[in-house]
Amino acid sequence: MITVSPPVLPRSPVAPISPLFPVAPVYPTAPVSPGIPVAPVDPVAPVGPAGPGTGTVTTVAGVMTVGLSHALNASTISTAENTIEYFMRILF
């Protein structure tokens, strides 16, 4: 036995709208003139409190590496790991 869905009734017609008037064309504007060049400034070291989150420099075999010790508690680390693992399971 084959069942056939009933035909869909047409929707009531939509009232026509009046035509839109054309808009005036937009003309290009003059390009912005470049600013006056200035001399570069010396880099400034960031200012902040000492402690967690400040840069640490370690030297191993003559190679200098810079690391950041972020102040993350165990709960934050666990949440980040769970989030990363969740997104790794999603198939793209």
Q: Is the pLDDT of residue 56 over 70?
A: no
pLDDT computed for residue 68 by the predictor:
47
3 state SS of 43: coil
pLDDT digits (tens, 9 = 90+) for 1-20: 667 777 777 666 777 778 88
pLDDT computed for residue 92 by the predictor:
63
Q: Give the DSSP letter of residue 50.
A: S
How far from each other are the two terminal CA atoms of the chain, in whole angstroms? 41
Nearest to residue 50, comparing CAs of 65, 64, 31, 71?
Answer: 71
